[in-house]
C-alpha cells in the first residue's frame, strides 16, 4: 500500500472504519443488565417515584442520572431508551476522541483512529457502563493536561467546558477523581512546578464535583443518610482481599505493560502524551483495587488509557530499542485487555419467560426475589412492564448472610441481623402494597422458595401467586445468571387455577 493511501486512511479512512465497526458491534451486542436497571430507576423517577426511598440504587445519584437524557427521549417519543442511549454514547465518545486527538494532534496522525478504537470498540460489554461514560467525560481533560505538559496554554472556553464535563465523573463514582489527581501529580513532578497540581481545568472539575455533591445532599438526602450506612455495613465488607489482586495475572500483566511503556517512551517525542495517559491509568488502576470486586468493567478505564499510551508510543518510536519496548508494551496491554475482557455474549437467556408473561398480562408490574438484578432486567423491559420493587434484588439478604458466615463480633452480627429483618420487611411491604402482577423467584443456587416459606407473612403474600413459567438456561448461562420461575397474581383477569404451570 502506497504511503499516500496510508496517509489518507490515517486521516479519514481509518477513523470512519473504526466508527463503522463500533456501530456494527452495537447492532448485535446488548447493553449490560446494570444499565437496564438504571434506566428503570429513571423511568420511575419520571413517574414521580422517590429515588433512594421507593426505589433504591446503591450508586450515587449521578450514576443514575447519566441515563436520564435517553429515558426522557423515551418518555417523550416512545423510542426505547437503550438504543437511544447507545447512539448518545457513540456520539459522545466520537466527540471526546476528536477533542482529545486535536489536543495532541502533533504526536501522531494515528491518534484519532487509535482513540476512537479504545473509546468505542474496546469497551465490549463495558460499553455504556459508568466507567465507560466517566472516561468519555474525562478524556478531553487529559488532552488539555497533555498540552500543558508540552508547554502550551489552552484557551479558557475549552478549559471551562472540559472542567465542567470532567467534574461530573467523580460524582458517578468518587474513585474516578483519582484519574485526574494522578495525572496532575505527574504533570507537577515532570515540570517541577506545584502549580500544575491546580491546573484550571482540574480546579473547575473539583468545583463541579463539590457543587453536584451539595445538590445531592440538599435534594436527595436519603442517599447519604440512609443508603451509605447500608453500603458500609453490607456491601463494602465483601470486597475481595487485596492479595487476590496483587498476585493475579491481571495485575502482573498491568505492571509489565506499564514497565515496557516506560522503557519505550524514555526518548520518544510522545512522552508528554504517554506520561499523562499512564498517570491517569495509574489512578484508575488504584480505583479498580479500591472497589475490590475484580469485575471487568471496573478495569476498563485503566486498560483503555494503557492501550492508548502503548499504541501511540509505538507509532512515535524512533530508535530500534524504543520500537522493541513499544511492541512489548502493546503486546502486554492487549493481553491485559483479553484477560479483563467481558465479551458481549448475547441477551440474557430469560427470553423464554417473555412470551408467557406477555400472553397473560399487558404492561405488567414486576419485582423479584432473586440473588441478582439480571432476571428482572431486561425481562421487565422486554415485556413492556414497569418495576414494582424497592430493590433490584435481595442482595442485602445475600450479602448479610455471607458476612454472618464469617462469624463477626456481637455488634457487627446485630447490625447484620437487623439488615436481614429490614430486607424481609421491604419485600413484605412491596408485595402487600404494590401487589406486582409478576414476581420472579430465583430457582438457582440460593433456595429462595425456602426463604419465602420461612416467614409466615411472606408465605401468605406469595400464596396469592401461581407459577406461570420457569426459565431454562444453558450450562454456560447458568454460570453467569440465575434461573427464575415467574409467578403471576391469581386475581388478574382471565386467570384461573387450572391454567398454571408447575
**368-408 pLDDT, tens digit each:** 999 989 889 889 999 999 999 999 999 999 999 999 999 89
Q: Which helix (H) or strand (E) holds 267?
A: none
CA 143, 93, 104 angle in degrees (round to 5)?
25
Residue-level pLDDT at 351: 65
Lowest mean pLDDT among 40-54, 193-207, 469-483: 469-483
Question: What gap in Å lies between CA 454 and CA 1, rounded to an integer?
Answer: 72
**418-428 pLDDT, tens digit each:** 999 999 999 99
Burial of 302 (0-12, 13-18, 19+ CB in 10 A): buried
Residue-level pLDDT at 249: 66
Residue-level pLDDT at 475: 73
> Residue 502: is its pLDDT beyond 50?
no
> Residue 339: is its pLDDT beyond 80?
no
Residue-level pLDDT at 105: 67
Residue-level pLDDT at 5: 53
Residue-level pLDDT at 275: 86
* Residues 26 and 86: beta-carbon distance below 8 Å: yes
**27-79 pLDDT, tens digit each:** 988 888 899 999 999 999 999 999 999 999 999 999 999 999 999 999 999 99
Cβ contacts of 13-20, under 8 Å, gap ≥ 24: 14/110, 14/112, 14/113, 15/112, 15/113, 15/116, 17/113, 18/113, 18/116, 18/117, 18/120, 18/121, 19/90, 19/94, 19/116, 19/120
* Residues 386 and 366: beta-carbon distance below 8 Å: yes
Q: What is the mean pLDDT of residues 217-239?
A: 92
pLDDT band with cut points at 50, 70 and 90 for residue 209: very high
Lowest mean pLDDT among 105-119, 199-213, 222-236: 105-119
> Residue 204: is its pLDDT beyond 90?
yes
pLDDT band with cut points at 50, 70 and 90 for residue 500: very low
> Residue 364: is its pLDDT beyond 60?
yes
What's the pTM value of the predicted model, to 2 decimals? 0.91
pLDDT band with cut points at 50, 70 and 90 for residue 333: confident
Q: Which helix (H) or strand (E) holds 469?
A: strand 465-470
Here the cell at position 317 is 518510536
Question: What gap in Å lies between CA 179 and CA 186, rounded to an integer?
Answer: 11
Residue-level pLDDT at 21: 95
- 280: number of CA atoms within 13 Å, CB side? 30
> How far is residue 192 from each of residues 183, 203, 271, 276, measured CA to CA in Å?
14, 19, 16, 15
> Residue 270: is its pLDDT beyond 70?
no
DSSP 4: H
- With b for 16 or more beta-carbon neighbours within 10 A and e for fewer, the 264-277 pattern comes to bbeebebbbbbbbb
Q: Which helix (H) or strand (E) holds 470?
A: strand 465-470
> Residue 349: is its pLDDT beyond 60?
no
Question: What gap in Å lies between CA 481 and CA 484, rounded to an integer?
Answer: 9
Strand stretches in 336-433, DSSP E: 365-369, 386-387
* Residues 274 and 329: beta-carbon distance below 8 Å: no
Residue-level pLDDT at 495: 52
> How far is residue 122 from each of residues 110, 260, 276, 460, measured CA to CA in Å?
16, 21, 20, 49
pLDDT band with cut points at 50, 70 and 90 for residue 348: low
Higher per-residue confidence, 443 vs 427: 427
The average confidence (pLDDT) of the chain is: 87
> Residue 286: is its pLDDT beyond 50?
yes
C-alpha 488: how far from its chain's center? 32
pLDDT band with cut points at 50, 70 and 90 for residue 497: very low
Amino acid at each position: 500500500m502506497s504511503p499516500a493511501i496510508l496517509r489518507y486512511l490515517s486521516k479519514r479512512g481509518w477513523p470512519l472504519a473504526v466508527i463503522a465497526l463500533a456501530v456494527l458491534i452495537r447492532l448485535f451486542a446488548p447493553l449490560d443488565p446494570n444499565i437496564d436497571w438504571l434506566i428503570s430507576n429513571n423511568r420511575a423517577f419520571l413517574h414521580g417515584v422517590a429515588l433512594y426511598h421507593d426505589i433504591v440504587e446503591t450508586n450515587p445519584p449521578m450514576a443514575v442520572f447519566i441515563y436520564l437524557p435517553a429515558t426522557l427521549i423515551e418518555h417523550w417519543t416512545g423510542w426505547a431508551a437503550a438504543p437511544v442511549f447507545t447512539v448518545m454514547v457513540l456520539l459522545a465518545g466520537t466527540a471526546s476522541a476528536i477533542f482529545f486527538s486535536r489536543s495532541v494532534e502533533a504526536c501522531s496522525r494515528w491518534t484519532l483512529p487509535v482513540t476512537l478504537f479504545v473509546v468505542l470498540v474496546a469497551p465490549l460489554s463495558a460499553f455504556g457502563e459508568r466507567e465507560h461514560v466517566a472516561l468519555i467525560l474525562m478524556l478531553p481533560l487529559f488532552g488539555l493536561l497533555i498540552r500543558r505538559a508540552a508547554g502550551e496554554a489552552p484557551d479558557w472556553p475549552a478549559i471551562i467546558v472540559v472542567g465542567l464535563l470532567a467534574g461530573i465523573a467523580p460524582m458517578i463514582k468518587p474513585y474516578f477523581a483519582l484519574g485526574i489527581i494522578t495525572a496532575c501529580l505527574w504533570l507537577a513532578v515532570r515540570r517541577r512546578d506545584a502549580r500544575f497540581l491546580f491546573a484550571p481545568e482540574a480546579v473547575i472539575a473539583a468545583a463541579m464535583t463539590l457543587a453536584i455533591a451539595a445538590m445531592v445532599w440538599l435534594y436527595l438526602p436519603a442517599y447519604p443518610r440512609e443508603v451509605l450506612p447500608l453500603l458500609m455495613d453490607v456491601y463494602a465488607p465483601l470486597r475481595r482481599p487485596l492479595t487476590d489482586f496483587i498476585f493475579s495475572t491481571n495485575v502482573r500483566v498491568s505492571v509489565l505493560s506499564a514497565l515496557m511503556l516506560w522503557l519505550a517512551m524514555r526518548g520518544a517525542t510522545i512522552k508528554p502524551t504517554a506520561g499523562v495517559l499512564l498517570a491517569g491509568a495509574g489512578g484508575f488502576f488504584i480505583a479498580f483495587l479500591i472497589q475490590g470486586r475484580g469485575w471487568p468493567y471496573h478495569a476498563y478505564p485503566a486498560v483503555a488509557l494503557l492501550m492508548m499510551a502503548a499504541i501511540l508510543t509505538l507509532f512515535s518510536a524512533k530508535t530500534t530499542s524504543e520500537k522493541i519496548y513499544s511492541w512489548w508494551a502493546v503486546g502486554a496491554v492487549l493481553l491485559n485487555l483479553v484477560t479483563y475482557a467481558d465479551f458481549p455474549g448475547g441477551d440474557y437467556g430469560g427470553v423464554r419467560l417473555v412470551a408467557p408473561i406477555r400472553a397473560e398480562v399487558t404492561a405488567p408490574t414486576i419485582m423479584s426475589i432473586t440473588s441478582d438484578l439480571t432476571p428482572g432486567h431486561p425481562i421487565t423491559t422486554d415485556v413492556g412492564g414497569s418495576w414494582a420493587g424497592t430493590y433490584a434484588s435481595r442482595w442485602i439478604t445475600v450479602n448479610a448472610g455471607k458476612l454472618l458466615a464469617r462469624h463477626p463480633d456481637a455488634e457487627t452480627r446485630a447490625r447484620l441481623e437487623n439488615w436481614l429483618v429490614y430486607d424481609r420487611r421491604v419485600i413484605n411491604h412491596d408485595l402487600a402494597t404494590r401487589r406486582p402482577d409478576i414476581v420472579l423467584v430465583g430457582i438457582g443456587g440460593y433456595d429462595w422458595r425456602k426463604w419465602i416459606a420461612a416467614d409466615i407473612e411472606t408465605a401468605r403474600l406469595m400464596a396469592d401467586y401461581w407459577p406461570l413459567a420457569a426459565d431454562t438456561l444453558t450450562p454456560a448461562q447458568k454460570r453467569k445468571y440465575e434461573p427464575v420461575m415467574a409467578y403471576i397474581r391469581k386475581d388478574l383477569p382471565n386467570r384461573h387455577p387450572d391454567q398454571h404451570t408447575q
